[in-house]
Chains A and B, each alone.
Chain A
């Protein structure tokens, strides 16, 4: 379970990216964070995996109290999370299998554990045949699937994705969404920041809309835009 209570994030330059946010997400939910560019989606996401600490307010996630947490406990929190980005962040000199295994290697897993887990997630994202390819031999959609495989290889309770389809065409985006939906169906919480209207409208889930650092809508099975505020229709990006 994830809880944010009266969370405010002010950057050192004075920008208040989030203002007094309160939000609860149950285990196993699928949540879209939508809103215009600059609304504060990425800031919210970074607070969740504790890349950032809130200026004010409380956050608990997977039983970790992010406010009281000490710096050296952060790795333990991150092992319960899987994070996916728009730019994949794959290591170019490693194969697909090595990129995924790396996530387990650096937390001290043995080679045999790594091999088993990697072949399993490769199958889950449909890339078993590409295990020994290098990232630059793959399409963007395939690279993002590798990144997702890496995010879920340690069985996280929560997957956090910041614009995972931002660099992908609509068809490939749908493939990615199907994989995320499948992960969610197994009980993993999925939180996805996006401003891709088509996706949100085609795969309805809980929608949390952020504008100017505040939650202006929280709607189960919602569309990207609320019927009532069509005027403030966000332009993509």
Chain B
């Protein structure tokens, strides 16, 4: 008989350490796992990523292993970008669309070589992966629970990994990955992340997870290491300009109402679409959109004042032309930033718009019409992110 416990919320392989470090006892739920919202102090966690090293347990990230003689061919059909250009031991940021050319999710694709890939995504996507696999010699398995993962991010993250004994880690290039012996097993390290700064992700089998955590925090004790929760990560990702499925767009196959999904062009992800590589899911529809123009555009807005434009309407003059999907005050860039989806004709760099912001102080609501301006790029991008060899701080 199946135990009823098996349907309870899961814990990641790092849970005993996470729980101990989670001094505030503030928890979130993430794809069936219990994960910390905040450990000690959100601002300090945020600044660990920006100033020293923040460690985020990303074990609940959905992971699929895709193998078989046709793996590359197959992935090239699923993804909008040319997967063949992601070399072995490299990682690629990618998106995939349904046949209507609407974005289902974004994620990272790890090429282990010889038709052996890992796809990490926010949403669960097994049904779509299988659906698209007809006629291909591939095997797809859900390996979410088979690996624990820690994002180790920030200016001193390379120094921490060096102090842990991972020789040559500073030479790993952005989006590269490398395997290191660890205890009697191994840890895979990729130079990837969600923070816009220097950073790595460490992947390990669950039995070694606790040792990895302990050794990491020992090595980082003089380098400002700190565990960070979901709230701090959210600040970091907005500052660095990363979209979040389910927040900045609705995964296409989950939408109920017509017109609520978005294409790569409408999300500012057109650079991930490669029409020259041959057939892929959504190609026809995307070609048509390219020809005829998009309905919406995704833009970064620099908003006047210090009130985050959360859930605001965006106006041109008095006309409503869009809405904000994510917004935050960015503590490193010291600016007030919003992601918005607006009618495409207004998405010109420097375009002056208005955000209709509502905020509350002591139960009194204020309506504020804040000027905002379309800007070209995210407000945070550290040169350390691209430097190789990676700097020590």
A and B: interacting chains: no
Binding site for B on A (CB under 8 A): none
Binding site for A on B (CB under 8 A): none
